[in-house]
């Protein structure tokens, strides 16, 4: 079977002389496979389309995609949003007394699944013209566990709580102080404990509308946890949170486990997902085209399958190459000859906050990962290296070095197309083959080149900003939280691109990042920032990856082990035998 998808934003029928229609061979039969819809955009009649792919190749705006699917999926339709629109196949099976994880790329159907499980979206089983009612949807799953689940949801036998993906929209529908909001819905009498566990007890008197993204995320998790429900659904609970907060949020979510409770979480941070989940469902397919839910796997097996890109029990390969992690920490080369630049002890004071960074240096080809909680000075340090901020004491000795800086917060109000911005940044390199191979393709920006920057989504804008930063000919690349809004695939693609460019051109990079798996993948050295959030921050000089990670994980109070198959870092369960042994030996990072 075939599924056709037309990107309405990319289709510009008035500018291309309708080449998709003119070159379609099915026109000769007087039954046009491609025609214009009411919105004057291309529309594919899938019952006529032969799937030859000519229109895909001819379209100058890369707006058409036609994908052939396995025949057995004809009976696995879950939901289709309309003609030439995204289609979801299959649903995960929930289990009582466990946390079920969902892992997959952006635009692959995770949020759609959570809305279906919450009862907010009634699946049309692929029939968007004449969608079935709730009874017909239930009967479609007759004899399966999903029948009982949907019956309990549709008949209000079970209560479901959904923590939404976009927490920044909460102030538009909720008002009052944090304490007032939580008191109204506290059904367990656990408000005080949960507020302390999530570290929001100091913001209880604040108005919801003035909270930051990280504060809103923790409040949203709290509003779910303190309610007495049968099913808890969490959509990307770690976004906007630093590593400390992610670990604590994961512990709070796991505390919900009860033999009668069902918990589902969609998450991009592999370490957090691994720590939270017992079982996992993978989602694979083509983003914004179709998504397929895999069979259930244990969390270790499922994440390893995702990293390898091959599902053995379904004989499906969804990625050409596996993701490869360090087998062991990279060797530290102590040589003055390879030094690129250095800085003296840096001090910076603001009203109510002070930062001190001890003198240090960095060598050619090194990637320095920067770790620490929010509000402790990481961004201030990066800005001092970039020349955006001037230290009150000390100096950065890089007068003849070129610096390229990607800030933490990116403006989407820039005028111009993505291509114009990247051409300006890359100069003559833009037309070279290596630029396409090392930047445009790995960062998935090729399909966005003709789009205006101001209409891009958060994830698209992030990838363009990273591409722009890496496009400039520089000696030092500074990237502040590059994985924000990105999925697992995109995060590791960005990390791979940064490593390849630094090694290839003999330059260096500083990367502020909260995803510890990404940091482990990308960094040669680590700078650990400590202190009191919002009051004072401190960092020593860059340490080796092993020493830096060990110091940081000791601050967090968690230990990591290495997966024997994929070499990815895994969080040990708190107070497990391995956790106790590593803490006693002082080995918080794998050895």
What pLDDT, on a 0 to 100 scale, did the predictor assign at position 336?
46
What pLDDT, on a 0 to 100 scale, did the predictor assign at position 1?
63
Among 39-48, 335-344, 537-546, the range scoring the smallest mean pLDDT is 335-344
Mean pLDDT of 519-533: 91
The reply to whether 452 and 494 lie within a common domain is yes
- Ramachandran category for residue 566: left, alpha or beta (phi over 0 → left; psi -120 to 50 → alpha): alpha
Q: What is the CATH number of the domain that holds 27?
A: 3.30.70.20
What pLDDT, on a 0 to 100 scale, did the predictor assign at position 71?
58
Report pLDDT digits (tens) over 99-110. 999 999 999 999
Using only C-alpha atoms, what is the Rg of the chain?
25
Report pLDDT digits (tens) over 225-240. 999 999 999 999 998 8
Would you say residue 389 lies in a domain?
yes
The reply to whether 538 and 449 lie within a common domain is yes
67 pLDDT band (50/70/90 cuts)?
confident
Mean pLDDT of 458-483: 92
The reply to whether 370 and 456 lie within a common domain is yes
Would you say residue 87 lies in a domain?
no
- Rounded Cα distance between 460 and 107, Å, is 12
Last residue of a domain, one of 177, 211, 228: 228
Cβ neighbours for 453, distance < 8 A, ≥ 6 positions apart: 412, 414, 415, 416, 417, 418, 421, 461, 464
The reply to whether 270 and 282 lie within a common domain is yes
Cβ neighbours for 502, distance < 8 A, ≥ 6 positions apart: 365, 366, 367, 477, 508, 509
The reply to whether 185 and 240 lie within a common domain is no
| Token couple for 350 | 């603001």
Would you say residue 223 lies in a domain?
yes
The reply to whether 290 and 143 lie within a common domain is yes
Would you say residue 78 lies in a domain?
no
Report pLDDT digits (tens) over 245-268. 999 999 999 999 988 899 999 999
Q: What is the CATH number of the domain that holds 422?
A: 3.40.50.300
Q: Is the CB of residue 235 less than 8 Å from the CB of residue 114?
A: yes
Q: Is the CB of residue 84 less than 8 Å from the CB of residue 4?
A: yes
What pLDDT, on a 0 to 100 scale, did the predictor assign at position 48?
82
- Rounded Cα distance between 218 and 194, Å, is 10
Instruction: Answer yes or no: is pLDDT of 122 > 60.
Output: yes
Q: Is the CB of residue 197 less than 8 Å from the CB of residue 251?
A: yes
Full domain range(s) for residue 483: 336-544
- Rounded Cα distance between 532 and 375, Å, is 8
What pLDDT, on a 0 to 100 scale, did the predictor assign at position 335?
44
Would you say residue 327 lies in a domain?
no
Would you say residue 204 lies in a domain?
yes
Would you say residue 406 lies in a domain?
yes
Report pLDDT digits (tens) over 80-119. 998 888 999 999 999 999 999 999 999 999 999 999 999 9
Among 172-181, 320-329, 330-339, 385-394, the range scoring the smallest mean pLDDT is 330-339
591 pLDDT band (50/70/90 cuts)?
low
The reply to whether 539 and 428 lie within a common domain is yes
| Number of domains the chain contains | 5
- CB-based burial, 75-108: b 16+ in 10 Å, e otherwise: ebbbbbeeebbbbbbbbbebeeebbbbbbbbbbb
- Maximum average pLDDT range among 52-56, 250-254, 442-446, 448-452: 250-254
The reply to whether 224 and 241 lie within a common domain is no
Percentage of the chain beyond pLDDT 90 is: 55
> Who has greater pLDDT, 317 or 224?
224
The reply to whether 151 and 276 lie within a common domain is yes
Percentage of the chain beyond pLDDT 70 is: 94
- Rounded Cα distance between 483 and 495, Å, is 9
Would you say residue 582 lies in a domain?
yes
| Predicted TM-score (pTM) of this structure | 0.84
The reply to whether 480 and 360 lie within a common domain is yes
- Rounded Cα distance between 341 and 402, Å, is 11
Distance of CA 43 to the CA centre of its chain: 31
The reply to whether 201 and 58 lie within a common domain is no
Instruction: Answer yes or no: is pLDDT of 333 > 70.
Output: no
The reply to whether 522 and 473 lie within a common domain is yes
Give 337's DSSP letter. Answer: G
- Rounded Cα distance between 153 and 89, Å, is 20
Report pLDDT digits (tens) over 194-205. 999 999 999 999
What pLDDT, on a 0 to 100 scale, did the predictor assign at position 365?
86
């Amino acid at each position: 079977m075939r599924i056709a998808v037309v990107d309405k934003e990319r289709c510009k029928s008035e500018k291309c002389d309708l080449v998709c229609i003119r070159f379609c061979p099915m026109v000769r039969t007087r039954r046009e496979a491609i025609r214009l819809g009411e919105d004057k955009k291309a529309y594919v009649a899938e019952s006529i389309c032969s799937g030859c792919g000519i229109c895909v190749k001819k379209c100058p705006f890369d707006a058409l995609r036609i994908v052939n699917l396995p025949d057995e999926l004809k009976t696995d339709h879950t939901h289709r949003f309309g003609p030439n629109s995204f289609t979801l196949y299959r649903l995960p099976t929930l289990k009582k007394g466990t946390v079920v994880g969902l892992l997959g790329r952006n635009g692959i159907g995770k949020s759609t699944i959570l809305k279906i499980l919450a009862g907010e979206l009634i699946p049309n089983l692929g029939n968007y013209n004449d969608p079935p009612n709730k009874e017909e949807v239930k009967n479609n799953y007759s004899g399966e566990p999903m029948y009982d689940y949907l019956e309990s949801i549709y008949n209000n036998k079970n209560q479901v709580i959904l923590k939404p993906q976009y927490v920044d929209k909460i102030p538009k529908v909720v008002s009052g102080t944090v304490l007032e909001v939580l008191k109204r819905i506290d059904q367990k009498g656990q408000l005080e404990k949960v507020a302390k566990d999530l570290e929001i007890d100091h913001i209880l008197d604040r108005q919801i509308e003035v909270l930051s993204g990280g504060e809103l995320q923790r409040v949203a998790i709290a509003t779910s946890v303190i309610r007495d429900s049968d099913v808890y659904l969490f959509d990307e609970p770690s976004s906007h949170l630093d590593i400390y907060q992610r670990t604590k949020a994961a512990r709070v979510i796991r505390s919900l486990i009860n033999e009668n409770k069902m918990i589902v979480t969609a998450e991009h941070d592999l370490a957090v997902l691994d720590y939270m989940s017992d079982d996992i469902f993978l989602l694979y397919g083509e983003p914004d085209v179709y998504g397929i839910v895999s069979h259930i796997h244990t969390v270790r097996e499922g994440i390893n399958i995702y990293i390898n890109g091959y599902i053995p029990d379904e004989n499906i390969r969804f990625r050409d190459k596996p993701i490869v992690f360090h087998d062991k920490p990279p060797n530290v080369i102590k040589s003055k000859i390879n030094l690129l630049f250095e800085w003296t002890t840096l001090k910076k004071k603001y009203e109510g906050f002070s930062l001190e960074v001890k003198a240090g240096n960095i060598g050619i080809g090194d990637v320095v990962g920067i770790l620490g909680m929010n509000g402790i000075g990481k961004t201030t340090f990066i800005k001092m290296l970039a020349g955006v901020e001037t230290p009150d004491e000390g100096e950065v000795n890089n007068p003849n070095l070129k610096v390229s800086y990607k800030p933490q917060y990116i403006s989407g109000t820039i005028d111009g197309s993505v291509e114009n911005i990247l051409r300006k940044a890359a100069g003559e390199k833009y037309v070279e083959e290596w630029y396409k191979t090392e930047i445009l393709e790995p960062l998935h920006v090729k399909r966005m080149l003709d789009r205006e920057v101001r209409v891009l989504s958060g994830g698209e804008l992030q990838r363009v900003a990273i591409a722009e930063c890496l496009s400039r000919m520089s000696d030092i690349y500074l990237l502040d939280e590059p994985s924000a809004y990105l999925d697992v695939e995109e995060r590791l693609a960005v990390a791979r691109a940064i490593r390849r460019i630094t090694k290839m051109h003999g330059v260096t990079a500083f990367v502020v990042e909260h995803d510890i798996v990404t940091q482990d993948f990308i960094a040669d050295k680590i700078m650990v920032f400590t202190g009191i959030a919002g009051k004072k921050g401190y960092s020593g000089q860059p340490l080796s990856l092993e020493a830096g990670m060990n110091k940081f994980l000791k601050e967090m109070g968690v230990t990591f082990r290495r997966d024997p198959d994929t070499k990815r870092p895994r969080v040990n369960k708190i107070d497990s035998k391995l956790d106790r042994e590593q803490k006693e030996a002082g080995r918080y990072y794998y050895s």
